[in-house]
Structure 1
């Protein structure tokens, strides 16, 4: 008799589940599936099937979903069950505004010091971006893209600022993955190069204008995608023709 494939076959059971880490491990597995869009926005969640796939009891799965609800990744409705939360454009817009300001200041700090180690890391990262794009490897490109910005942030050596960025990254990463296309990969490389050129030229204005233009461009594409695919967004229907500009300059 042929066994029916699990609807959660993409969830990989952690290699070593210990009593004290089961909830954490299950939370990490589910978060990764949501952020990478293996679990799509709006998709219902079958706790029993997840338990069977991961080989765990219902308690750690329920606890994991509660934690992910706190991160804005899961919706839990009494009598109706759980579902992957829809992406909120308003939240992404606010987070990107925070990044816009923080990364602009991070670039000013970096250019003032001209840290050779950071420059070398950015050189290597740009090469990795081109290699991933050439392979049309969207997942690797996304990881390298995130690292590009992290290199800039680390130059500030402010752990609290890094914490603010990381705390909201999951929902932003979901939104950005929705618009990954070969065209967006090529544009991102060009936009990152403009930022890097400003760093190499020791030109604060050039670099900060480039980072702000990059963030604006991503948001414009995301707004356009949300208007075309409103079902994936909690507030997709609220976007109109005037929503393709990213406010605050």
Structure 2
């Protein structure tokens, strides 16, 4: 008798589990599935199926879902179970505004203090981004996109700023996955190159204008997507047709 495929086959079972690590592993697996949209907004989460796929008991799955609820990725309703939360465009707008302000000021402090190792790392990252885009490898490109910004933050050693941005990353990344297309990958490469060009030139104004334009461009596309697909967003129906619903510029 042929066994039915698991509906959660996209969840990779941990290869090594140690005491105390099970909940973390389950949390990471579910978070990745939600952020990458393998578990799309609004979908129900079947604990039993997750347990079977990951080879764990119900306790770490319940604990993982509680953690993801605190991150705003999961909704848990008594007697109704757990569902992947809808994306809140209002939250994304606020997080992106915070990110734009922090990254702009970080570049203002950083420009002119970079070293050859940083430049080499950014060169390598940009080349890898182009390679991932040519292969149409959205997952690899997404990780390289994150790494591009992390290279700069690591060089600055602004750990508090990076921690603030990282705390909002899961929901931001989930929203960005909604608009991943070959066109967006190409635009992101061009936008990253403009930031890098400003760093290479030691031109604070150029680099800051480029990072702000990058954030604005992503938000323009996300607003347009949300208006076309309001059911994926908790507040999608409230979006008007105005073009100034984000502090652009």
Q: Confirm or deny a common fold (TM above 0.5).
A: yes
Match of 1:205 in 2: 205
Distance 1:120 1:61 in 2: 42
Separation in 2 of the partners of 1:35 and 1:248?
Answer: 26
**In the aligned structure 2, how far is the partner of 1:111 from the partner of 1:140?**
28
SS at match of 1:155: helix
| Structure 1 segment 10-21 matched on structure 2, within 5 A | 10-21=10-21
1:124-139 equivalent positions in 2, closer than 5 A: 124-139=124-139
Q: Which residue of 2 aligns with 1:170?
A: 170
Q: Distance in 1 between matches of 2:214 and 2:24?
A: 35
Question: For each residue in 1:100-149, what CA deviation from the matched residue of structure 2 results, as whole angstroms up to 9, or x when unmatched?
Answer: 01111121222131322211111111111111111111111111011111
Alpha-carbon contact 1:226-1:232 (below 8 Å) kept: yes
Task: Give the gaps of 5 or more residues in structure 1.
Answer: none
Asked if 1:102 corresponds to 2:102, the answer is: yes
SS of residue paired to 2:246: coil
Runs of 4+ with >6 A deviation: none
Equivalent in the alignment of 1:185: 185
Query: Displacement, 1:244?
Result: 5.3
Deviations along 1:215-245, one digit per CA (max 9) or x if unpaired, are: 0000000000011111111111111111555
Shift of 1:35: 1.0
2:3 corresponding residue in structure 1: 3
Structure 1 Cα separation of the partners of residues 19 and 193 of structure 2 = 47
Equivalent residues in 2 for 1:145-156 (5 A)?
A: 145-156=145-156
Structure 2 match to 1:157: 157
Residue in 2 that maps onto 1:122: 122
Q: Conserved in 1, the CA contact under 8 Å of 2:104 and 2:208?
A: yes
Match of 2:144 in 1: 144
Cα distance in 1 between the residues matched to 2:138 and 2:118: 24
- Aligned-partner Cα distance in 1 for 2:134–2:56: 40
Corresponding residue of 1:88: 88
* Contact in 1 for aligned 2:216/2:248 (Cα 8 Å): no
The residue number in structure 2 matching 1:222 is: 222
Matches within 5 A, 1:12-91: 12-91=12-91
Q: Secondary structure at the match of 1:113?
A: coil
How far the C-alpha of 1:9 sits from its partner, in A, is 0.9
Quick check: 1:109–1:155 contact (8 Å CA) kept in 2? no
List alignment gaps of at least 5 residues for structure 2.
none
Question: TM-score if structure 2 supplies the norm length?
Answer: 0.97
Q: Distance in 2 between matches of 1:21 and 1:124?
A: 33
Q: CA RMSD in A?
A: 1.2
Relative to 1, partners in 2 of residues 1:108 and 1:38: Cα closer, same or farther, differing over 3 Å?
Answer: same
Q: Tell me how far apart the structure 1 counterparts of residues 124 and 132 of structure 2 sit (CA, whole Å).
A: 12
Greater mean alpha carbon deviation, residues 234-243 or residues 66-75: 234-243
Asked whether the equivalents of residues 224 and 244 of structure 1 are also in contact (C-alpha less than 8 Å), the reply is no
Give me the whole-angstrom Cα distance separating, in 2, the residues matched to 1:244 and 1:116.
Answer: 40
